[in-house]
Structure 1
Amino acid sequence: MLPMLPTTAVAPGAWRYAAACFVAAVIAVIVFPPLAGVALALGIAVLWFHRDPGRNPPESGIVAPADGRVSVLREEGDELRVGIFMNVTDVHVNRAPASGTVQSVDHRPGAYKPAFSKDSDRNERVVIDCGDYQIALIAGWFARRIHPYVAGGDDLVRGQRIGHVSFGSRADVVLPPRYDREDVLVAVDETVTAGKTRLVATEAAESTRR
């Protein structure tokens, strides 16, 4: 196994959201004590939502970019899209499916439909193009803060943190044309873990095409 990538307690920027709750809790102690506990609990919930556990990526394959449930598995021309819906209880830090170099990071405005619905294909998103594959971080009806950590020219390794979406959403990976449905190791409604669950066993898939 590859060494575990560095661990941080919470995603970048999480304390900014939580701080407002903690300040409100302090004020509530003076103004209206019953609300202090609510504000404190909300702040803790925000930090828990943005938790960022360490992961041990496998030595090969294309891994899931997000924790959650596979909600999309479809062919798009000669490419294959795997979409993962992140529920409110899932870790929302996203990870690189494979090694590569970021070609571009493109923000695309759009709607804010529920991330588990078909209409979410038109939602706001950030598309990270790595040449051989793409990742799309997609906003939902409540999640409207997409935070990419990478920029064009950055080199990625499998399982590296690439961004997060605050408060629920979806993350897609568009696989290169050399893969088809038979190569995919997961199915719709299956639960996956970012940086750990293999979507494709790369060597096996490539060996069948030699």
Structure 2
Amino acid sequence: MANEILDNRGRGEATWHWPRIHPEAHKFAAIAAVASAAAAFFAWETLAWPLGFLVLGICAFFRDPVRVTPQEERFIVAPADGLVTLIQQVEAPRELVIDDGSGTKGLAPGLVTRISIFMSVFDVHINRAPIGGTVRRVVYMPGKFMNADLDKASEENERQHILIERGDGVAIGFTQIAGLVARRIVPFVKPGDMLAVGQRVGLIRFGSRVDVYLPAGTEPRVLLGQKIVAGETVLAELGQTLLIEGISQ
């Protein structure tokens, strides 16, 4: 159940529920359903059945399950479901660093650790806030639609940068990146909005990627190749720089 408090000592109730479908799916599912019904009416079964399964696929793509988000200030949680495909030292995005005239500071210039999370069409595409705080920037950048799994997609694809700042000054930036099939980034937030950690911030339609920029002195707690869950998986712990190794098996 949403908004229920659960803990690591058994408090709360954990039951399985059908995930709700985000309203963004309604128009796509309706179009496919009408087309399927029309094909069935004219006895075009070879078209009606695939269109019927397409309706189910659209609903599955836009599913929006409840997530249990750790409530610990030192944790940075995953903003996206998917596969960790890149962990690199890069320059912080210019759009999150420069003075944008709003009177609020951006990220500090210099190298940061970037975690790239690739979302396939089978992953949940609702993105969530990695920390709680105030939205300081939402910067949309037009661009290409290359494979989101490529390194250069971070600089060349259509993307949207979001910067969230906590009351203690800790700021985390992340970027929603459109992919080869994705054609629209749908924001749910705007500058000035107050967010809780794990709160929904937007979605990207039909396959994409999210980059997260960790502050200096913080290393990932996830491994390259690891499958992670938005709003639940702890990406990093502020101020922790331990080396963690894993084995694929």
Report the TM-score when normalising by structure 1.
0.88
In the alignment, residue 62 of structure 1 is paired with which amino acid? I
1:70 corresponds to:
84
Amino acid at match of 1:39: L
Q: Which residue of 2 aligns with 1:171?
A: 210
Is 1:36 the counterpart of 2:70? The answer is no
Q: Give the secondary structure class of the aligned counterpart of 1:130.
A: strand
Structure 1 contact 140–169 (Cα < 8 Å) conserved: yes
Letter in 2 for 1:53: P
Once residues 78 and 4 of structure 2 are traced to their aligned partners in structure 1, the CA distance between those partners, rounded to angstroms, is 16
Aligned pairs (5 A) from 1:148-159: 148-159=187-198
Q: Which has the larger radius of gyration?
A: 2
Q: Deviations over 1:35-85 (max 9, x none)?
A: 222111101101101111000001221011111111121122332211100
Q: Secondary structure at the match of 1:103?
A: strand
Q: Which has the higher helix share?
A: 1
- 1:141 CA displacement: 0.8
CA distance in 1, matches of 2:137, 2:87: 24
Q: Distance in 1 between matches of 2:175 and 2:81?
A: 14
> Over aligned residue pairs, what C-alpha RMSD do you find?
2.0
- AA in 1 matched with 2:78: A
Alpha-carbon distance in structure 2 between the residues aligned to 1:147 and 1:65: 15
- Code of the residue aligned with 2:211 in structure 1: it is D
Tell me how far 1:125 sits from its aligned partner: 0.5
CA contact (8 A) 2:134 2:193 kept: yes
Of 29, 40, 49, which aligns to 1:18?
29
Distance 2:4 2:195 in 1: 15
Aligned counterpart, 2:182: 143
**Aligned pairs, number:** 200
**Quick check: 2:131–2:164 contact (8 Å CA) kept in 1?**
no
Aligned with residue 133 of structure 2, among 96, 100, 104:
100
Letter in 2 for 1:152: P
Map of 1:59-138 to 2, 5 A cutoff?
59-60=71-72, 61-76=75-90, 77-121=110-154, 122-131=156-165, 132-138=171-177
Larger relative contact order, structure 1 or 2 (CA cutoff 8 Å, min sep 6): 1
* Structure 2 unaligned residues grouped into runs of 5+: 6-17, 91-109, 166-170, 242-249
Letter in 2 for 1:40: G
Answer yes or no: is the 8 Å Cα contact 1:4–1:54 preserved in 2. Answer: no
Task: Give 1:139 deviation, angstroms.
Answer: 0.2
Tell me the CA shift for residue 88 of structure 1: 1.4
> Normalized against structure 2, the TM-score is what?
0.75
How big is the shift at 1:176? 2.1
Q: Aligned equivalents of 1:128 and 1:78: distance in 2?
A: 18
| SS of corresponding position for 1:174 | strand
